[in-house]
Structure 1
């Protein structure tokens, strides 16, 4: 690869990193901020109810978009000035409606059953608004894929759930300040989430509408060919299957835990999880920037530069996240106290998850390295296997150990997935991603890559 191309990639990375850092930071801390507000207003029980309602919404969103957000990124990203761009987005939007609307109706009608099944009072009230938010929530994520495809990662970040949580949190605080009753009814939480989802979806829709009107006028767009349509469907299905690992962890895991834990225990677990996830804000920024660079370097056959880029990404993530990780490990009570009274007992959960996230950050973008270099099927198997074992942990450890069992199961999924991916990256690509000496090489693990 030429020096000019390397310089251009580094220059683009620096500029995009700053914009995306700010956008991802706002989204990540918006999600944490909503948890804090809910904790202050409703306590651990309220966080538990919100966690389950959010998992139901997240599951409905994953099923509704069926990998089409990533398919949009892939197909639009190939040529974002193509006359097919408008059709791609229209196809994804219409196709998602056939699932999101029925799911929205089903959650609305079954909200009392959900409350009874999980034995969690107040859940039905929250699901009133959350159920109606499903189509808007889904459309926001599809727009995020569209914005990534047209090279607007910062804008894409605002379309994801963190921004919705940020707006919902602001609305909740405003209503609390105006209300004469305290605390607010549980149903208010669902309604503010619905309003926030509508606002974020409408914002993204308008920006996409004006962008398309400027660059891809409706009269100039062309129909998607049958062969390309089949390819688009296959890509969506492939991304959907890859996303099932996240579905298992973020949706099924929470639901299993909710079945065996009280709303207070679930709230403690969810609060620790959300605080620990905030550490990933740095990794999310890096993963929004570096993967296209990985693909370009691998395509050019420059494994040496790819190795340096991967280690630089891991080192950058470790340096930026270390201060927060140290606080989580040494004084977790200080952070949890921000959520209100009664959350200090989640300190042990936060310590465990902070260690797991430390492994996640230190190993670097190993999952994306495999996905961007033609080893996506291996990564998919690793993710599904690790999360399958974690689900078994949720099922058997939650009844025995309570919230601690759920925490250990989640930590296992994070650590095992990243360690296995890191080993695979070394064997397949000959790349050591962690800062420091190559431990696998010293242990005699050989690589199959030809460097």
Structure 2
């Protein structure tokens, strides 16, 4: 629906684009809810009560993970707003969004493997858990490499799609894509920790990366402008995932970076 509105030229302003986006989300939600409720076996009655203490025990650390994750993602844009012209900030924002194409495959694979992580860990099948985690990482790296290669070789062409003035953000795109590729290369480490009952370990990781993103942005942006902000974001994102790799190794006993290992 949103794509159709864009192609037909109905989204002439940011306000109308936002309105079409919100309408598309609402309709998607209603269709999905109707589809789900019509499936056999779905009913509201007879639902077993879930202990709120157990729910809170997992939710509180993951709340901090979400908050610090936003810090890593947006500190590189919010902090530079006080130091750089709006047009430079716009180029940085576009570069960051475009670089996230690198980790698109990560989001798709995580939707599939996350429940499998939980089931295998609950069943004590640690070897199968390691195998599926490494297979998922190999798959993500395989599909992400061509995207990263294209971004590294043709960043000007990608940024040109948003306008001639955006071509100056080619180096920003390269820097941010590198950070996103580290995110892909480390695998589904966040889900491995959260789906295996190690929410607090994941929280401890983001307690390092979140403040790091803000501090680096505050230090590097006044010195190097939007380039410093891009470097701050890339370093923070890469550090968060590499720390999570170490935490997975410590808690679950295997290294998701060891993609060269043969899996069953």
Find the residue that maps to 2:234 and give its secondary structure.
Answer: helix
Q: Separation in 1 of the partners of 2:25 and 2:185?
A: 33
Answer yes or no: is 1:239 the counterpart of 2:62: yes
Answer yes or no: is 1:436 the counterpart of 2:260: yes
- 1:240 to partner: Cα distance: 2.3
- 1:269 to partner: Cα distance: 1.0
With normalisation by structure 1, the TM-score equals: 0.53
Partner of 2:215: 392
Q: Structure 1 residues 231 and 192, CA, compared in 2 at 3 Å: closer, same or farther? A: same
- 1:397 to partner: Cα distance: 1.7
Query: Residue deviations 1:294-343, cap 9 Å, x none?
Result: 22222222222221111111110000111111111122112222222112
Segment drifting more, 246-255 vs 192-201: 246-255
Partner of 1:405: 228
Q: Separation in 1 of the partners of 2:56 and 2:120?
A: 28
Q: Separation in 2 of the partners of 1:285 and 1:407?
A: 25
Partner of 2:5: 171
With normalisation by structure 2, the TM-score equals: 0.87
Matched pairs, number: 260
Equivalences for residues 98-247 of structure 1 within 5 A: 167=2, 170-175=4-9, 184=12, 188-209=13-34, 211-212=36-37, 216=42, 221=45, 228=51, 232=55, 236-247=59-70
Q: Separation in 2 of the partners of 1:307 and 1:231?
A: 26
Answer yes or no: is 1:277 the counterpart of 2:111: no
Query: Residue deviations 1:268-296, cap 9 Å, x none?
Result: 11121111101111011111111211222
- 1:176 to partner: Cα distance: 6.0
Q: Structure 1 residues 224 and 312, CA, compared in 2 at 3 Å: closer, same or farther? A: closer
The answer on whether the counterparts of 2:220 and 2:229 sit within 8 Å (CA) in structure 1 is yes
Q: Residue 310 of structure 1: which of 133, 136, 144 is its match?
A: 133
- 1:260 to partner: Cα distance: 2.0
Partner of 2:243: 420
Unpaired stretches in structure 2, ≥5 consecutive residues: none
Answer yes or no: is 1:322 the counterpart of 2:145: yes
The answer on whether the counterparts of 1:172 and 1:189 sit within 8 Å (CA) in structure 2 is no
Q: Separation in 2 of the partners of 1:224 and 1:230?
A: 15
Q: Residue 339 of structure 1: which of 143, 159, 162 is its match?
A: 162
- 1:245 to partner: Cα distance: 1.5
RMSD: 2.6
- 1:235 to partner: Cα distance: 5.0
Q: Separation in 1 of the partners of 2:54 and 2:196?
A: 20
Q: Separation in 2 of the partners of 1:209 and 1:305?
A: 36
Q: Separation in 1 of the partners of 2:24 and 2:149?
A: 36
Higher normalized helix content (fraction of residues):
1
The answer on whether the counterparts of 2:80 and 2:229 sit within 8 Å (CA) in structure 1 is yes
Rg larger for: 1
Q: Separation in 2 of the partners of 1:425 and 1:406?
A: 29
The answer on whether the counterparts of 2:98 and 2:173 sit within 8 Å (CA) in structure 1 is yes
Q: Structure 1 residues 213 and 314, CA, compared in 2 at 3 Å: closer, same or farther? A: closer
Q: Which has the higher contact order (CA 8 A, sep 6+)?
A: 2
- 1:234 to partner: Cα distance: 5.9
